[in-house]
């Protein structure tokens, strides 16, 4: 779970070229444009990450003209996300700005709350989630199964310590694709299909997830592969194409690009080379491999590395990159394994509505 609003300190203030009324504040690995003179290095502040949805309260009204989002209603008519002010990535005077800072006085007793404390709920902040197109998922069978790890990637902006600790490590860089997370598993002789957060009824012929699983014959192939490997497994990838996230890569058909093969007996990801082999023998395709790097990068350098065009369509901005070692290693800062994303800020400015 992301901590959207936390108490933090301003670690640096930097000038912005050709701008005298604003400057850049550094908070964790984030860069935030603030009014000049508003904060000083060492100041304790409340920091809200991008994707924070601030409630309609007087103290946030100044955001209305740029950030207001009406309530999001889901397919069943319920309010999925309330109305509020959505914090997104912006570019000011050539400088990307991600998130927003407030003085600690916004909270009663704010002065006494320790650095790092999450205050999301206290401020009435929730996560902005774009509306999910109805009809894509289909019939839900149940919650996401506990025997499969959920797909997720931590943002590099939060990983200063991990970058230091893993310096010198060789990392695989893949393109982060902007579609929908897909999981198919073979577990204790049972086949299943999941979206990001749900277990989908594999008999529902209307589901895009079921259709793609059937087109790759995943039920039979995973059973066979499991027998061959001697353990239960899941494949996880990004479903992309028409009807999904605006089909940014302008594909003609829905397809799947795999980023994880999980040994469900141990809960571990297969090593990069073995994963590539398994993906191939299943008749699947992996997410685009970009390069191997030896980790010796600052957060800013990794964000720079994320910029560029997509391998799938050279006129589409890349959403970002995902970096991970060849073999899964334990990493406390990313909730278990070292693997993280750097999002292309230009992509966020362009597409993140
Ligand atoms: P956040 O938690 O930051 O608000 P999010 O959890 O909704 O965002 P994303 O920003 O899409 O998710 O990042 C994680 C997702 O990226 C994974 O769940 C996976 O579906 C997707 N993904 C796309 N390409 C890759 C890739 N190359 N490697 C790993 N995951 C990838
Ligand atoms: Mn996430
Ligand atoms: Mn995504």
- Rounded Cα distance between 192 and 200, Å, is 7
Answer yes or no: is pLDDT of 134 > 90: no
Higher per-residue confidence, 20 vs 332: 20
Complex ipTM value: 0.97
Q: Is residue 132 domain-resident?
A: no
| Ligand closest to the CA atom of residue 311 | 1
Give the C-alpha separation, 325 to 337, whole Å: 9
Is there a domain that residue 341 lies in?
yes
Q: 290 and 163: one domain?
A: yes
Position 330 pLDDT exceeds 90? no
Does 195 lie in the same domain as 322?
yes
The secondary structure of residue 118, as a DSSP letter, is B
- Indicate if the alpha-carbon torsion angle 106, 107, 109, 115 is positive or negative: negative
The H or E element that residue 23 is part of is: strand 19-27
With respect to residue 45, please indicate whether it lies within any of the assigned structural domains: yes
Can you tell me the distance from the alpha carbon of 40 to that of 326, in angstroms, rounded to the nearest whole number? 41
Domain of 309: which CATH number? 3.30.470.30
Task: Map residue 306 onto helix, strand or coil.
Answer: helix
Residues 6+ apart with CB under 8 A from 136: 180, 207, 208, 209, 243, 244
Q: Can you tell me which atom of ligand 1 is nearest the CA of 259?
A: 28
| Residues 144 and 276 placed together within one structural domain of the fold | yes
Q: Are residues 117 and 145 in the same domain?
A: no
Annotate 63-75 with b (16+ C-beta within 10 A) or e (fewer): beeebebeebeee
Residue 341: CB within 6 Å of ligand 1?
Answer: yes
Among 29, 49, 341, the mutation site with the greatest number of ligand 1 atoms within 8 A of its Cβ is 341
Same-domain check for residues 112 and 58: yes
Instruction: State the residue range of the domain holding 252.
Output: 140-351
Alpha helices in the chain (DSSP H): 64-67, 160-165, 208-215, 218-229, 272-281, 299-306, 345-351
Distance, CA 44 to ligand 3 centroid (Å)? 32
Residues 84-111 have a mean pLDDT of 96
Any atom of ligand 1 within 6 Å of the Cβ of 287: yes
- DSSP H/E element including 47: strand 44-48
Residue 255 corresponds to which tokens in the numbers above? 């397809």
Residues 171 and 227 reside in one and the same domain: yes
Indicate whether 283 belongs to any domain: yes
- Mean pLDDT estimate for the chain: 95
Calpha distance 47→8 (Å, rounded)? 6
Per-residue model confidence as pLDDT tens digits over 19-51: 999 999 999 999 999 999 999 999 999 999 999
Residue 135 is assigned to a structural domain of this protein: no
Mean pLDDT for 118-141 is 88
Q: Are residues 155 and 293 in the same domain?
A: yes
* Average pLDDT score over residue span 213-217: 97
151 lines ligand 1 (CB under 6 A): yes
Separation between Cα atoms, residue 308 and residue 344, nearest integer Å: 8
**Are 148 and 123 members of one domain?**
no
Is the Cβ atom of 51 under 6 angstroms away from ligand 1? yes
Ligand nearest to the CA of 196: 1
Residue 133 in any domain: the answer is: no
- Ligand 1 atom with the shortest distance to the CA of 175: 27
124-127 contact pairs (CB < 8 A, 24+): 124/54, 124/55, 124/57, 125/4, 125/5, 125/48, 125/52, 125/53, 125/54, 125/55, 126/4, 126/53, 126/81, 126/82, 126/84, 127/2, 127/4, 127/51, 127/52, 127/53, 127/81
Distance (Å) from CA 309 to ligand 1 centroid: 18
d(CA 268, CA 50): 31
Q: Is 176 in the pocket of ligand 1 (CB under 6 A)?
A: yes
Q: Domain boundary at 78, 93, 127, which?
A: 127
In a domain, 215, yes or no: yes
Task: Judge if 115 and 151 occupy the same domain.
Answer: no
Residue nearest to atom 12 of ligand 1 (CA): 152
Q: How many CB atoms lie within 10 A of CB 150?
A: 13
| Mean pLDDT in residue range 259-283 | 97
252 and 109 share one domain: no
What pTM value is reported for the model?
Answer: 0.94
DSSP labels for 308-333? SB-SS-TTSB--EEEEEESS--EEGG
- Residue 233 CB neighbours (<10 A): 22
Number of independent structural domains in the chain? 2
26 Cβ closer than 6 Å to some ligand 1 atom: no
How sure is the predictor about 131, in pLDDT bands with cuts at 50, 70 and 90? confident
Cβ of residue 238 lying under 6 Å from some atom of ligand 1 = yes
Residues 6+ apart with CB under 8 A from 55: 82, 84, 85, 123, 124, 125
Which pair of tokens denotes residue 52?
Answer: 């924070």
What does the alpha-carbon distance between residue 261 and residue 290 come to, in Å, rounded to a whole number? 19
- Domain end call among 127, 158, 174: 127
Question: Does some domain include residue 314?
Answer: yes
Q: Of 17, 18, 32, 22, which Cα lies nearest the Cα of 8? A: 32
20 CA distance to ligand 2 centroid (A)?
36
113 and 157 share one domain: no
- Residue that finishes a domain, picked among 79, 106, 127: 127
Q: Which one of 153, 325, 343 would you pick to mutate in the ligand 1 pocket, going by the greatest count of ligand atoms within 8 A of its CB?
A: 153
Ligand 1 contacts CB of residue 52 (under 6 A): no
Same domain, 251 and 337: yes
pLDDT band per the 50, 70, 90 thresholds, residue 74? confident
Instruction: Determine what percent of the chain is predicted with pLDDT higher than 90.
Output: 90
If pLDDT is split at 50, 70 and 90, which confidence band does 132 have?
low
- pLDDT above 70 (res 180): yes
* Range in 130-144, 225-239, 292-306 the model is least confident about: 130-144
The residue with greater pLDDT, 47 or 329, is: 47
Q: Is the CB of 129 under 6 A from ligand 1?
A: no
């Amino acid at each position: 779970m992301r901590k959207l609003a936390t108490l933090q300190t301003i670690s640096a203030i930097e000038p912005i070229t050709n701008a005298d009324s604003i400057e850049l504040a550094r908070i964790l690995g984030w860069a935030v444009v603030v009014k000049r003179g508003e904060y000083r290095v060492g100041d304790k502040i409340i920091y809200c990450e991008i994707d924070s949805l601030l409630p309609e309260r007087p103290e946030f009204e100044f955001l209305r003209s740029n950030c207001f989002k009406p309530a999001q209603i889901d397919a069943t008519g319920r309010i999925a996300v309330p109305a509020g002010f959505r914090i997104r990535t912006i570019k000011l005077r050539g400088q990307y700005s991600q998130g927003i800072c407030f003085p600690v006085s916004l909270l009663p007793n704010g002065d006494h709350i320790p650095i790092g404390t999450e205050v999301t709920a206290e401020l009435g902040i929730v996560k902005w989630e774009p509306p999910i197109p109805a009809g894509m998922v289909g019939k839900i069978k149940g919650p996401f199964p506990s025997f499969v790890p959920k797909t997720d990637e931590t943002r590099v902006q939060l990983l200063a310590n991990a970058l230091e600790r893993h310096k010198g490590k060789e990392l695989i860089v893949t393109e982060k694709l902007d579609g929908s997370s897909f999981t198919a598993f073979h577990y204790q002789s049972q086949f299943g299909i999941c979206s990001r957060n749900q277990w989908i009824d594999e008999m529902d012929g209307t589901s895009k997830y079921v259709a793609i699983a059937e087109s790759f014959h995943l039920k039979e192939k995973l059973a066979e592969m499991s027998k061959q490997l001697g353990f239960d497994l899941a494949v996880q990838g990004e479903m992309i194409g028409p009807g999904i996230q605006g089909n940014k890569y302008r594909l003609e058909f829905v397809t799947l690009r795999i980023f994880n093969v999980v040994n469900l007996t141990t809960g571990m990801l297969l090593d990069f080379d073995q994963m590539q082999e398994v993906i191939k023998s299943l008749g699947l395709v992996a997410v685009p491999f970009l390069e191997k790097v030896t980790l010796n990068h600052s957060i800013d350098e990794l964000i720079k590395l994320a910029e560029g065009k997509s391998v799938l369509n050279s006129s589409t901005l890349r959403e970002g990159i995902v970096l991970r070692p060849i073999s899964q290693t334990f990493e406390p800062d990313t909730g278990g394994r070292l693997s993280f994303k750097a999002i292309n800020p230009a992509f966020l400015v362009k597409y993140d509505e």
